[in-house]
Amino acid sequence: MTSQRTRERLIQRLMEQGITNYSVLDVIRTTPRHAFVDEALAHRAYEDTALPIGWGQTISQPYIVARMTELALQAGRPNKVMEIGSGSGYQTAVLSPLVGEVYAIERIKGLLDRSRERVRALRLRNVQLRHADGLDGWADKGPFDVILGAAAPEVIPPALLTQLAPGGRLILPVGGVDQRLVMVTMGADGPETTHVENVKFVPMLSGTERG
């Protein structure tokens, strides 16, 4: 059920949905998504769907991981990437081979501890994980070429914009009930926002949880 054929079917589906970046498709093909969910759900790991990972959170749908990663790479290979809401660590693992460094933040300690083990097992050496509130960003590691969020704040957090490098891009779901994925590019004349598509993410919450 985690066979090569099941994985190929997922890649096929992502291509049908408009994912065209072959580096992204290749990384999704080779990243063991079944290792990022509980064993009881491993047989569903290559379905194009979000799945529960505990603490009321979900591992992102492969389509949205592919789409956001594609947007992250659109202007060439980014050097420094900050990820907010790393959850299971799946998006983190997909980014790792495609960028210079990944700085990933998660507010729930229990999730972070598990993803730390996965990152170690997969030997992703360019990944740093931090237990913190991503609404504040990670100022001392910035500025970032890309900031990618996997949870939706009501409005774009101002701290994140100040941590974008010139030409950098923030890729983030924004909103409450009606969410949209936006991409903010930091141009010479200030930030420029484009609407990518409507999405459904868990909310970006302030503070941290020790559980």
Q: Which is nearer to ligand SAH, 93 or 184 (CB)?
A: 93
Q: Which is nearer to ligand SAH, 85 or 142 (CB)?
A: 85
Q: Left if phi > 0, otherwise alpha if psi is -120 to 50, otherwise beta: which for 180?
A: beta
Within 145-164, the residues that bind ligand SAH by CB under 6 A are 150-151
**Minimum distance from CB of 78 to ligand SAH (Å)?**
17
Q: Which is nearer to ligand SAH, 59 or 184 (CB)?
A: 59
Within 61-100, the residues that bind ligand SAH by CB under 6 A are 84-88, 90-91
User: Within 10 Å of residue 85's Cβ, how many Cβ atoms?
Assistant: 26
**Residue 134 touching ligand SAH (CB under 6 A):** yes
- DSSP line for 36-90: GS-GGGGGGTTSSS-EEEETTEEEPPHHHHHHHHHHHHTTS--SEEEEE--TTSH
> How many helices and strands, by DSSP H and E, does the chain display?
6, 9
At position 161, the amino acid (one-letter code) is L
Token pair for residue 22?
A: 């072959």
**Residue 111 touching ligand SAH (CB under 6 A):** yes
Q: Which is nearer to ligand SAH, 85 or 168 (CB)?
A: 85
Q: Which residues are catalytic?
A: 60
Cα separation of 80 and 36, whole Å?
24
Binding site for ligand SAH (CB under 6 A): 53, 57-60, 84-88, 90-91, 105-108, 111, 133-135, 150-151, 202, 204-206
